[in-house]
Amino acid sequence: MADSQPPPSRGAPSFDSTLEDIPTPPPRVQGPLLDTTPLEAVPSPPTPLGEPTGTPVIHVEFDPAVLEEGQRWEQERIERRLRGDYERATKQLSELVNDNLDKPFRLNAVTVYGANRTRASFLASVLSPYLPSLPSPSYSTSAPATPSQSLRSILHTSREVDGKLAQFGIFNDIQTTVVKSPSVLAEDDDVDIVVNVKEAGGKRLAFNADVGGDGEATTLAAEAPINGSPFTKAAMTLFMAERNLNHFAACSEVAHGAQLSFRTVSNYGAHELSYLASLRKICDILPLASISIRDQAGSTVKSSLTHTFVRDTRDDLVMARHGSHLKLQQEYAGLGGDVNYLKASGEYSISRTFAPSYSWSLGAKAGGMYTFGQKPSLLVDRFHLGGPTSVRMFKNSALGPKDSGDYLGGDLHWSTGASLVTPLWGKPEWPVKGHFFANAGHIVAFDNATKPYTSALKSLFTQPSVSVGLGLMYKHSSTTFIAPTLRPVLSHRLLHSSPFAMTNPISEIVHKVIPTTSHEGDQPKTEEEPRINPETGLPETKNEKKKREKAEEKERIKAEKEAARLEREAAAKAAKEAADVDYSPDSYGKLPLNQSQERTKTKRAQFKEITAANDGEKVTFRARLQTSRAQGAKMVFLVFRQQSSTIQALVQVEKELVSKKMVNFCEKINPESIVLVEGTVQKPLEEVKSCTVSDAEIKISKIFVESEAPVVLPFTMADASRPADDETGGQVALDTRLDNRVLDLRTITSQAIFQISSGVCNLFREYLNSQGFIEIHTPKLQGAATESGSSVFKVSYFKGNAYLAQSPQLAKQMCIAADMEKVYEIAPVFRAENSYTHRHMTEFMGLDLEMAFDEHYHEVMETIDGMLKSIFSGLKTKYADQIAVINKQYPHEEFTFLDETLVLQYGEAIKILQEAQVMQPNEQGEMVPIGDHDDMNTTTEKALGVLIKEKYKTDYYIIDKFPSELRPFYTMPDPSNPVLSNSYDFFMRGEEILSGAQRVHDAELLESNMKKVGINPEEMKDYVDAFRLGAPPHAGGGIGLERVVMLFLKLGNIRRASLFPRDPKRLNP
């Protein structure tokens, strides 16, 4: 699949020609002001004395301005010619492509050039889904397979291949071209997709060296896709990092290690599973470091497994105006090494725009870790809180437990925040925005030996650190700057002693945010112990104390006001909830599993019986919910479906009858769920054109979910019902439909197709019963292959073998020999033909008949003709509504037939083809005129159908007197011309639907024919013996039910007319 050199130019002309490719006129100077006479015609001046004679010297003097003007004119003329040639060729190519978009082609191969270092197996896994499985080539059968693709679909495939390869990021300059297949085995309609790429060599191994204010890191990373998917990758990273922790602890961290990760991306988010092995070292301890930091100095080994899930739909990572961000992470460290803990964290944020240039966002984080054993967690493994990404207005990681001047982090934490971004001074176009925010958070630590986990959990939600303020945000094309608060409104925090710190007076001081006030009559005041300024680590001055007390007083007043406001809001909410009583709790919900607990015998309504005449009537029905659409918070429109009938319904808030919660319940019912509904029929305000019941709707009073469908379906009913020629929305591929056949069969189009399929069987029975036929049921297991072993399924049968019946042919004939006179059967037929085309299946429903005739086999042919025309007429009269439904999704011309059916001799049909100069391939694959006794392949049959439609204005006709060599051994030869036979085929829209003939009913002639085709008469002794007992002359035929339905409705593929199709590639569902 990969090659080092591009292929030779094929197919459409190239428009990359250079100037040298354009024919050049004879050399002469040409222009508006210059002489055009050839130089050889100009008389030479006399040779000056003293100069050598010989070749004459020509002196031509040009005005420089004139020469420059002439050169410019000549250049413009060449450019105009090039541009005209290019535009003309482009237009011709465009017209050529557009005129052939629906022409059938087959994709033979996808070839990639330039991928010299890319594994061929990787490219094969990526590109093989785009290569359709082709039928057997024409040289192996008598008729080449029909292309199952068009130029339009192949061009779409080339675009998908281009996009797929681009997603991996390993190729540059990808160019795709569709060319005629150069393979010697290719047929005329075979094409290849040729892809020329340039490999992006430097992107598979990445080396980074980052230096920042907190340290530096060096990484070496390698990444590769897995299973041919750009969304699933594996990565290996080696790293060395040094981090300065002085902004919150008096030390630094150095880490070396490796990480192996697997990452996959889906529509729901990105999952990453990674393994980390690293050596960490706490070093560069400063002189003022606390005991807690000094205790952790040294090296530790960590071996951990981490899972991370991220879903990010934000439109900007910092100044988001819309979208959300979710991150969940779980880590287990203990696969060897010095640490053993379980750690989990999560964060979520959401942003929305509520007015032009105004946006708000909410966010929350939480996490916890549990250390196994008696050792406390380490500084570098704990959570750290504080800073612009968690609780603003505090230094990074400067919240939580503290020992002297070192912030030690914690094992449990939470934080939340809200932001409002506004334009400044009514200037929404300015990149500078106003930023209002409020944050809160808390972090605590625990030690298995001194502070149990339950105690830490209790203290987690008491006295959080809070900040409220405003600031500025500046959005640059590459960077977002956030200025700290211009004016702090509120800021306070808690200082905690470390549970694993050495005892000293300073580290045990606890700073209470809102101190309680003391009133007269209380206990006498005691002298307050000096507080420590958290910024300097020294006792606060009087000035600092006054500022603190003033701020605390403001905080207390504000807290009291906030408490009063919350109390008022809670009272208002309680009043609102009391007013919003659910007064219809028994009118909606989910029903328990139906185990036939009871039988109420309630009459159930059918949509096809509901009209405007039923206005005001109460009805109960069961249906599927097709779609729902909310109109505000108090009304929901729903569309229900019963088989191929649909009706609109609505539910709206109605005092004492329908509550708001019931309306909300209806809105959230998953599409395709089965519901039980009670309601009243009413006339809609206007005709409901989107439903089959257009003059009535249902006002719902009760609704219950009987069987709930999943939230996500393989495809929607809207996409599955979209017209085949509609390119405005997504089309559901046929294989996707067949893989989810139960869902596909629910569409009103599929329902109509199989109602018509049932109608064909009913009309078949009705006509033949009226003609004195009886229905029989023949066995499908046979002891011998009836025609050709290559087209028969062999199955194990106890200690021997049996064969699945190709047709009920032999059994039908034996019934005629048994004096049943006229018989028919509707039963499955099995054909072991490895043909993957639009009209072949390995199992289909056969409509077979056989009858004895009085004088001539045409009596049977005319009976079959009458039966088929009865079916065609019955479908048009009894199933007009279903045909109209199908025509919306699969548009087609109405099927036409004559009152007196057109019957052509085989020779007459061949003559029509010869007169039209129709060609078909011979055994060597060469296109030659069709011979008088040649078998017609599928393409030739379709060409004949087009010619007959143009000449005779009919889609239905009969061809009689086929050559004997083209028919089975049991076909009766023509009495006047043994080369021909008493056989016939019936055609619809140029494709054969029935093959039949007069059968050989003489045992000796039958045995002779069997031997000629290599069948041992002894293997079919019971069949031959039936004719030794005497049998009347008889004839019959077999019809493929699915093929009749496909051609009558012009569905394009027989699988659409088969309930659960079987072909060489499909055995399920």
Burial class (CB in 10 A: 0-12, 13-18, 19+), 772: exposed
String of DSSP letters for 171-182: EEEEEEEEEE--
Q: How far apart are CA 65 and CA 52, in angstroms?
A: 34
In the set 839, 999, 1001, 1056, the catalytic residue is 839
Q: Which residues pair with 845 in a beta bridge?
A: 828
Residue 203: partners with Cβ closer than 8 Å, 6 or more residues away? 169, 170
Q: What is the 3-state secondary structure (H, E, C) of 411-458?
A: CEEEEEEEEEEEEECCECCCCEEEEEEEEEEEEECCECCCECHHHHHH
DSSP state of 501: S
What is the residue whose two structure tokens read 């229900």? 640
Give me the numbers of helices (H) and strands (E) for the chain, helices first please: 19, 41
CA distances to 62, 619, 639, 985 from 610, in Å: 96, 10, 14, 45
Active site residue 223: no
In the set 404, 467, 995, 1058, the catalytic residue is 995
The helix-helix angle for 880-889 and 858-878 (nearest 10°) equals 80
Decide if 683 contacts 612 (C-beta within 8 A): yes
Q: Which residues pair with 278 in a beta bridge?
A: 257, 302
Residue 624 main-chain phi, psi, to 5 deg = -100, 140
Burial class (CB in 10 A: 0-12, 13-18, 19+), 322: middle
In the set 435, 967, 1034, 1043, the catalytic residue is 1043
Burial class (CB in 10 A: 0-12, 13-18, 19+), 595: exposed
3-class DSSP assignment, residue 13? coil
In the set 325, 831, 989, 1001, the catalytic residue is 831
Tokens of 926: 């060469």
Residue 758 main-chain phi, psi, to 5 deg = -65, -40
- Among the residues of 503-640, which ranges form H helices? 542-579
Burial class (CB in 10 A: 0-12, 13-18, 19+), 58: exposed
Q: Please measure the distance between the N-terminal and C-terminal CA atoms of the chain and give it in whole angstroms.
A: 33
Active site residue 1043: yes
Q: How far apart are CA 498 and CA 404, in angstroms?
A: 10
User: What percent of the chain is helix, strand and coil (3-state, nearest 5)?
Assistant: 25, 35, 40
Decide if 24 contacts 214 (C-beta within 8 A): no
Q: Which helix (H) or strand (E) holds 938?
A: helix 938-952
Active site residue 88: no
CA 617 to chain centroid = 44
Q: How far apart are CA 825 and CA 847, in angstroms?
A: 6
In the set 840, 967, 1001, 1055, the catalytic residue is 840
Active site residue 992: yes
Decide if 476 contacts 434 (C-beta within 8 A): no
- Tell me the torsion sign for CA atoms 561, 564, 568, 570: positive
- Prior bond of 1069 cis (ω within 30°): yes
Q: How far apart are CA 317 and CA 315, in angstroms?
A: 7
Active site residue 641: no
Decide if 22 contacts 15 (C-beta within 8 A): no
Active site residue 28: no
CA distances to 586, 587, 652, 658 from 579, in Å: 19, 19, 17, 14
In the set 992, 1007, 1034, 1058, the catalytic residue is 992
In the set 697, 825, 833, 1007, the catalytic residue is 833
Adjacency order of strands within the sheet including 400-403: 406-407, 400-403, 495-497
Active site residue 556: no
Residues marked active site are found at: 831, 833, 839-840, 992, 995, 1043
